[in-house]
């Protein structure tokens, strides 16, 4: 009798149930009398609202039907009563009034009855002497404000003086005080029908068990005729000691059916999200059930549905849809958790682990309704998810993050709102406000609390046996005693004391399971999962298979993959994309789509022009389809258009030009057309190249930091320094790198297209391919295939250009040009790299006076010859040469040194030299000076191919041009320019001189000199040089010269560099890679922006046909037979070398090993050979300059490795003085022209 809200009531059928029920009632209503009533079945709960004053007056305000109950607590109330005849209702109302008068009741109360649907009999149930929570139902249908009436009764006001009561009884003067005969005066008829639903914190899926917790969001949308009352706010909660009801929704309409429909709509607009479960969805399903609509339910109806495990049927929200929403929510949460963890590590300066950067792959299980789903979720972007069930594609879902932290998930063409709630025992989400729970795997050895509450008592003792499916303890939840059911069979151990507070997931007892095979486990899903269709991509009126739709979807897929994400649109997005880029169909579709954005703002003239452009593109599409398009061009039927198209690369370029004219004419209104211009400017081929280049650059932007770093941590440090303050950018690059394998496979396909389409003709694309080629230098194996494919493209491009290059060289020979000589005019010796600053040798006029070094033809006045009286550089004569007063050392530190004056070595030189006389190497006499007689043959112009040089810009070459030039032609031109600086023209050495590339290592270029006795290799790295060495040694050269790109020159000490060079030579010699026939190895290390380093090594004990006995010209027997190609005797090699020249052998220098030639250190190898620096054994030598002599009566040789090729060397020499004699003897210093003996 002291219960309420269904508490303290139990229905029992046996004595055992009576004993259990009696104990539970005692706990729920302590101290209350307990009595027994007869059970009434198939009955309706009807109640009458009564009002009585303290003057003996009592009235009824119609009745209410509260038959929809669970556990004897009302869920739905409505009024007036419609299930019983009106006569029965009047009889019940009169009985309630008589009861109130008989007991002298004063106030507002309720008299409750049970109405038997079978017999129509009525039974008294109880009286509630208070104002009940469902009183608004009566207020709505009568117009009486019951709380106001309650207060007026307490104030002593009689009923007939209350305005609401007088109005309800039809009194003309509501504010009057005239008496009313309530027994005979008629009441106003009910004002329609009112239906109410109680909102409770209960879980219908578990038998309406109460739940408690915080409420994060409460959204109620009021409709006409709908009222909502709530006891919590948007940030409140329901605690475990409160009643489960926290809201009440009332719907008022003229009829019962209309009121039911309105209440269902109102519940559909009500949303509650939080830690609690609610009955909103279930309540709505009850109202829509046919039995309720037909008014055929009873008080036991809802309990029967609960016992039958009835659940609301939502055809749209199926189990599979719930699983998909849960999978997307868990993957989204994991993605952001990993991202936040990586960002936190970067913020603290700690490089994250590599596995943490894979943000877009998630594999896990979800259990829903005792079915376990094996899920794998990949992401196409931070907002695009691909879900696979049992490794079978199930859905593609897009998400939008809401302001409150929830997700709007687009699934199967329908948007669903999903929120996640924290839970210790699984994943809890709300899908369209419907709570859905994904529990963790069941642990049979633990029994836990399903929610908050208080432990009352154990029903199974400690260390006793509990049986699965039977209660083992009782807990109190929101003043209701509920049993906890055992989930395993076995002996239990109590872990908590009675009276302890419980939280969700708290372990109550541990279980020693008797039979693990009998443990209930979730069944793995094995059926066919529902496939949810992805959102369709629609672009205007274009068809699904149109070029633009194909381009848009597959282009997005490639971008996703390059960013490290997944793409499931098709297995190969590259092939369909390549089929449409660079086509007229794509251009026409893109223009049609862009045109729609500006058509509404265009005037008639502009619309006509747009239509003309569209027609032009349609013509191109037609021609393309019938195969009339060749090289992106075709004939236009319109003469005017044909005339305009003559200057265009193709018809699309013409369309682009006309669109640009429209944009310029119409201004900002046509700015959307800029997209079309940007895509197709330059024609269809440029559209294709632009797209491919963008893909390659996207890959490179992410991978270059990792390729250039020794480890993943180092790369992260590089990215952190590059993107200071933007840790998310670092995370995105690291995530992209984590999917290197798939991204590399995609780039290989793109490179195949680049190769097929000759996209490297475009500078940006060529740069991108060169950058990809450089990835090979990294230690990571993931770049090997990409780098090798890029290198193949560069090599093929070079091979294709080689034929045309050789044809140009043959044209030079046919023109009679044998040497590249100085042209008249602004060229000076500095053009050939003989000076690095100033005019070291004076003007051309100065040189013209030197008949021993300059022919009369060369010294004759020309258009740009020396100006009489012009100031000349201060100079001193050393022999027949002039040095400026800076004594500048002519070392080739850059290509600017090779072409100092103009920054260019001229490609075309018209030299008026007679063939056979007066030319270089064709001396008329054998005297010490040249003859000045005029030539006997007319001048012959000599033409040199300008493509082999620097295209009028000396800065166009740098050291990298020797190794990784954009084309083979440019690389060979750079090499030729290097040799030409010392007067060696490779084109004149014959077709086998080179440059050539090795078959085994295409990245290494080599030149044959002195008929193959000397081999010069140009390698982009030490590794490339090592790889090419076996093939080079197979040619058995006597001398090997390596010119190697060595970026580590920057910041390294000279001694370290020298040791590296020595280790390279000695290591390869010990490994047997250097041929035994090779007696000298020269190493030149280059890096852009660093001073070149040159080292020469000679084999200890090696000699050319003999051994030098002294510093003179004496040679051993047989030396006279060793001749150079110019019939000169070859100089002999010393046994060992040092700053003092020849030194005796040492046990530490065994025969066959290589020892550095110290005197040659710092010289370009060919310069050291030309100047024969070994002859100055006692001097520290710097080569100032060099020039060819014509005074020996022989033709000038062009092979720089033969020591006597240049008869005169100009040196700055300082005698070496040992430390023991320093101070006693001053070193001698001199500048001299050194003339080695002929032969």
Spell out where 286-383 has E strands.
Answer: 361-368, 371-381
H/E element holding 766?
helix 763-774
Q: Cβ atoms within 10 A of the Cβ of 701, count? A: 13
- Residue 181, SS3 per DSSP: coil
Phi-psi region of 806 (alpha: psi -120 to 50; beta: other; left: phi over 0): alpha
Where in the sequence numbering do the catalytic residues fall?
130
Return the structure tokens found at 852. 């021993």
- Between CA 486 and CA 472 the distance in angstroms is 6
Return the structure tokens found at 866. 């020396």
Q: What is the mean pLDDT of residues 191-217?
A: 88
pLDDT in tens, 816-832: 543 333 333 333 333 33
- Please list, residue by residue across 972-1000, b when 16 or more beta carbons sit within 10 angstroms of its beta carbon and e when fewer do: bbbbbbbbbbbbbbbbebeeebbbebbee
Output the pLDDT for position 852: 33
Reply yes or no on whether the pLDDT at 268 is more than 80.
Answer: yes
425-to-333, 412, 437, 448 alpha-carbon distances in Å = 17, 29, 10, 9
- Between CA 757 and CA 736 the distance in angstroms is 28
Reply yes or no on whether the pLDDT at 344 is more than 90.
Answer: no
As beta bridge partners, residue 1044 has 1019, 1085
- Could you please report the per-residue DSSP string of 82-144? -SS-HHHHHHHHHHHHHHHHHHT--EEEEEEEEEETTT--EEEEEEE-S--TTHHHHHHHH--
Contact 963, 957 (CB under 8 A): no
Local confidence band at 1057 (pLDDT 50, 70, 90 cut-offs): confident
In this structure, of 162-166, 532-536, 949-953, 991-995, the range with the lowest mean pLDDT score is 949-953
Local confidence band at 684 (pLDDT 50, 70, 90 cut-offs): confident
Output the pLDDT for position 351: 79
- Between CA 1165 and CA 1200 the distance in angstroms is 9
Tokens 């039927």 correspond to what residue? 637
Output the pLDDT for position 190: 94
Local confidence band at 810 (pLDDT 50, 70, 90 cut-offs): low
Which one-letter DSSP state was computed for residue 898? H
- Give the orientation angle of helix 968-980 with respect to helix 784-814, to 10 degrees: 60
137-to-144, 224, 252, 1113 alpha-carbon distances in Å = 10, 16, 9, 130
State the chain's mean pLDDT as an integer.
75
As beta bridge partners, residue 407 has 401, 418
State how beta strands 480-485 and 471-477 pair.
antiparallel
Comparing 103 with 988, the larger pLDDT belongs to 103
Contact 598, 613 (CB under 8 A): no
Output the pLDDT for position 51: 96
In this structure, of 499-508, 886-895, 1121-1130, 1218-1227, the range with the lowest mean pLDDT score is 1121-1130
Output the pLDDT for position 271: 84
- Residue 8, SS3 per DSSP: coil
Comparing 1167 with 783, the larger pLDDT belongs to 783
Reply yes or no on whether the pLDDT at 263 is more than 50.
Answer: yes
Spell out where 163-222 has E strands.
Answer: 193-200, 202-203, 209-210, 213-219
Comparing 211 with 860, the larger pLDDT belongs to 211
Q: What is the mean pLDDT of residues 669-675?
A: 86
pLDDT in tens, 529-558: 988 888 766 555 667 778 888 888 899 999
H/E element holding 339?
helix 319-347
- Between CA 1005 and CA 1026 the distance in angstroms is 13
pLDDT in tens, 1127-1178: 333 333 333 333 333 333 333 445 678 888 877 777 776 666 655 555 555 4
Reply yes or no on whether the pLDDT at 1121 is more than 80.
Answer: no
Output the pLDDT for position 327: 94
pLDDT in tens, 1028-1040: 888 888 888 888 8
Return the structure tokens found at 1185. 């300059």
Q: How many CA atoms lie within 13 A of 1171 on its CB side?
A: 29
Q: How many CA atoms lie within 13 A of 842 on its CB side?
A: 20
Reply yes or no on whether the pLDDT at 13 is more than 70.
Answer: yes
Q: What is the mean pLDDT of residues 1208-1223?
A: 50
As beta bridge partners, residue 512 has 491
Return the structure tokens found at 127. 């009286």
In this structure, of 156-165, 173-182, 312-321, the range with the lowest mean pLDDT score is 312-321
What's the farthest any 2 CA atoms get from each other in the chain?
158
Local confidence band at 1217 (pLDDT 50, 70, 90 cut-offs): low
Return the structure tokens found at 230. 């709530």
Reply yes or no on whether the pLDDT at 273 is more than 60.
Answer: yes
Percent of the chain with pLDDT over 70: 73
pLDDT in tens, 717-731: 888 888 887 888 889
CA nearest neighbour of 421 among 408, 397, 439, 437: 437
Q: Does residue 696 have a cis bond before it (omega within 30 degrees)?
A: no
H/E element holding 482?
strand 480-485
Contact 362, 376 (CB under 8 A): yes
Comparing 814 with 320, the larger pLDDT belongs to 320
Q: What is the mean pLDDT of residues 104-123?
A: 93
Output the pLDDT for position 808: 58
Contact 880, 1233 (CB under 8 A): yes
Local confidence band at 934 (pLDDT 50, 70, 90 cut-offs): very low
Reply yes or no on whether the pLDDT at 914 is more than 50.
Answer: no
CA nearest neighbour of 330 among 379, 273, 403, 393: 379
1082 Cβ contact list (under 8 Å, min separation 6): 1039, 1040, 1041, 1042, 1094, 1095, 1096, 1097, 1160, 1165, 1168
- Between CA 295 and CA 809 the distance in angstroms is 105
In this structure, of 303-307, 570-574, 628-632, 1020-1024, the range with the lowest mean pLDDT score is 628-632
In this structure, of 87-101, 249-263, 637-651, the range with the lowest mean pLDDT score is 637-651
Output the pLDDT for position 1070: 67
CA angle 882/888/894 to nearest 5° reads 125
Return the structure tokens found at 624. 């393309």
Return the structure tokens found at 1183. 């080569």
Output the pLDDT for position 89: 94
């Amino acid at each position: 009798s002291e219960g309420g809200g269904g508490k303290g009531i139990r229905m029992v059928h046996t004595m055992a149930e009576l004993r259990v029920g009696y104990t539970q009632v005692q706990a729920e209503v302590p101290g209350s009398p307990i009595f027994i009533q007869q059970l009434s079945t198939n009955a309706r709960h009807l109640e009458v609202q009564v009002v009585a004053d303290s003057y003996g007056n009592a009235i009824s305000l119609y009745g209410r039907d509260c038959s929809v109950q669970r556990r004897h607590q009302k869920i739905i109330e409505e009024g007036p009563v419609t299930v019983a005849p009106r006569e029965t209702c009047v009889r019940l109302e009169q009985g309630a009034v008589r009861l109130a008068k008989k007991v002298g009741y004063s106030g507002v109360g309720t008299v409750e009855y049970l109405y038997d649907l079978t017999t129509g009999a009525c039974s008294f149930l109880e009286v509630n002497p208070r104002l009940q929570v469902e009183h608004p139902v009566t207020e709505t249908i009568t117009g009486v404000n019951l709380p106001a009436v309650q207060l007026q009764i307490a104030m002593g006001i009689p009923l007939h003086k209350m305005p609401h009561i007088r109005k309800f009884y039809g009194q003309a003067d509501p504010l009057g005080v005239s008496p009313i005969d309530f027994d005979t005066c008629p009441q106003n008829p009910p004002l329609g029908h009112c239906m109410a639903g109680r909102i409770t914190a209960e879980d219908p899926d578990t038998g309406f068990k109460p739940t408690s917790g915080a409420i994060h969001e409460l959204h109620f949308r009021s409709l006409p005729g709908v009222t909502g009352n709530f006891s919590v706010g948007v940030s409140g909660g329901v605690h475990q000691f409160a009643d489960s009801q926290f809201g009440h929704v009332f719907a008022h309409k003229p009829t019962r059916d209309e009121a039911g429909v309105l209440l269902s709509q109102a519940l559909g607009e009500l949303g509650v999200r939080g830690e609690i479960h609610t009955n909103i969805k279930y309540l709505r399903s009850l109202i829509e059930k046919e039995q309720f609509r037909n008014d055929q339910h009873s008080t036991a109806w809802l309990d029967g549905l609960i016992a039958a495990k009835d659940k609301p049927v939502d055809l749209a929200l199926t189990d599979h849809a719930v699983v998909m929403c849960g999978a997307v929510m868990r993957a989204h949460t994991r993605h952001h958790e990993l991202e936040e963890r990586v960002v936190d590590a970067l913020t603290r300066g700690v490089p994250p682990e590599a596995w943490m950067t894979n943000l877009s792959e998630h594999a896990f299980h979800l259990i829903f309704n005792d079915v376990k789903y094996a899920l794998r979720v990949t992401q196409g972007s931070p907002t695009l998810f691909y879900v696979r069930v049992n490794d079978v594609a199930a859905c593609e879902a897009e998400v939008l993050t809401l302001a409150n932290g929830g997700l709007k998930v687009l699934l199967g063409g329908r948007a669903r709102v999903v929120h996640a709630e924290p839970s210790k025992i699984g994943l809890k989400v709300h899908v369209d406000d419907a709570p859905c729970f994904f529990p963790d795997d069941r642990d049979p050895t633990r029994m836990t609390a399903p929610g908050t509450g208080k432990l009352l008592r154990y029903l199974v003792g400690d260390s006793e046996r509990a049986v699965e499916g039977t209660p083992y303890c009782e807990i109190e939840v929101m003043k209701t005693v509920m049993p906890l059911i055992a989930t395993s069979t076995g002996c239990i151990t109590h872990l908590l004391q009675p009276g302890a507070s419980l939280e969700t997931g708290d372990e109550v007892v541990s279980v020693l399971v008797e039979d693990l095979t009998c443990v209930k486990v979730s069944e793995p899903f094995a059926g066919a999962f529902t496939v949810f269709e992805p959102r369709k991509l629609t672009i205007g009126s274009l068809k699904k298979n149109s070029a633009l739709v194909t381009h848009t979807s597959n282009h997005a897929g490639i971008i996703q993959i390059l960013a490290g994400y997944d793409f499931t649109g098709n297995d190969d997005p590259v092939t369909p994309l390549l089929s449409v880029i660079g086509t007229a169909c794509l251009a026409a579709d893109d223009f049609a789509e862009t045109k729609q954005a500006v058509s509404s703002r265009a005037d008639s003239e502009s619309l006509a022009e747009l239509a003309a452009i569209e027609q032009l593109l349609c013509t191109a599409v037609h021609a393309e389809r019938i195969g009339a398009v060749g090289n992106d061009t075709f004939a236009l039927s319109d003469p005017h258009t044909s005339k305009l198209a003559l200057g265009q690369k193709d018809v699309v370029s013409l369309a682009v030009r006309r669109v640009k004219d429209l944009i310029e004419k119409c201004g900002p209104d046509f700015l959307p057309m800029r997209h079309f211009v940007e895509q197709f400017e330059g024609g269809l081929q440029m559209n294709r190249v632009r797209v491919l280049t963008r893909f390659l650059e996207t890959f490179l932007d992410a991978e270059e930091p990792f390729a250039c770093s020794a480890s993943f941590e180092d790369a992260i440090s590089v990215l952190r320094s590059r993107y200071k303050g933007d840790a998310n950018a670092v995370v995105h690059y690291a995530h992209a790198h984590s999917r290197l394998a798939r991204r590399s496979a995609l780039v290989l396909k793109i490179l195949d297209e680049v190769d097929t389409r000759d996209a490297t003709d475009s500078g940006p694309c060529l740069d991108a391919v060169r950058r990809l080629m450089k990835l090979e230098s990294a230690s990571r194996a993931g770049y090997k295939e990409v780098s090798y494919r890029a290198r193949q493209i560069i090599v093929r491009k070079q091979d294709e250009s080689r034929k045309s290059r050789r044809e140009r060289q043959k044209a030079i020979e046919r023109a009679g040009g044998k040497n590249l000589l100085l042209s008249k005019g602004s060229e000076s010796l500095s053009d050939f790299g003989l000076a690095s600053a100033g005019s070291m040798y004076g003007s051309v006029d100065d040189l013209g006076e030197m008949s021993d070094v300059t022919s009369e033809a060369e010294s004759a006045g020309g258009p740009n010859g020396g100006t009489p009286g012009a100031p000349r550089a201060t100079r001193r004569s050393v022999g027949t040469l002039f040095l400026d007063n800076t004594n500048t050392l002519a070392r080739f530190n850059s290509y600017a040194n090779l072409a100092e004056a103009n920054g260019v070595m001229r490609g075309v030189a018209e030299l008026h030299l007679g063939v056979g006389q007066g030319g270089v190497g064709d001396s008329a006499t054998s005297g010490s000076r040249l003859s000045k007689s005029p030539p006997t043959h007319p001048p012959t112009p000599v033409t040199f191919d300008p493509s082999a040089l620097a295209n009028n810009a000396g800065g166009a070459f740098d050291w990298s041009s020797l190794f990784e030039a954009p084309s083979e032609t440019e690389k060979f031109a750079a090499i030729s320019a290097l040799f030409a600086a010392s007067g060696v023209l490779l084109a004149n050495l014959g077709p086998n001189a080179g440059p050539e590339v090795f078959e085994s290592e295409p990245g290494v270029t080599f030149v044959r000199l002195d008929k193959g006795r000397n081999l010069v290799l140009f390698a982009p790295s030490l590794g490339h040089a090592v790889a090419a060495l076996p093939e080079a040694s197979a040619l058995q050269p006597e001398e090997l010269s390596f010119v190697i790109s060595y970026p580590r020159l920057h910041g390294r000490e000279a001694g370290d560099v020298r040791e590296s060079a020595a280790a390279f030579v000695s290591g390869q010699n010990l490994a047997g890679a250097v041929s035994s026939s090779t007696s000298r190895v020269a190493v030149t290390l280059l890096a852009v922006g660093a001073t070149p380093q040159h080292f020469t090594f000679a084999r200890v004990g090696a000699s050319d046909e003999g051994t030098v006995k002294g510093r003179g010209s004496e040679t051993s027997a047989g030396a006279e037979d060793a001749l150079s190609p110019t019939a000169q005797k070859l100089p002999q090699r010393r046994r060992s070398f040092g700053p003092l020249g020849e030194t005796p052998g040492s046990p530490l220098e065994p025969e066959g090993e290589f020892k550095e030639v110290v005197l040659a250190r710092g010289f370009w190898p060919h310069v050291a050979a030309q100047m024969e620096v070994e002859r100055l054994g006692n001097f520290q030598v710097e080569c100032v300059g060099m020039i060819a002599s014509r005074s020996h009566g022989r033709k000038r040789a062009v092979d720089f490795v033969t020591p006597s090729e240049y008869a005169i060397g100009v040196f700055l020499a300082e005698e070496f003085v040992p430390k023991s004699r320093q101070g006693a003897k001053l070193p001698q210093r001199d500048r001299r022209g050194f003339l080695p003996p002929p032969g």
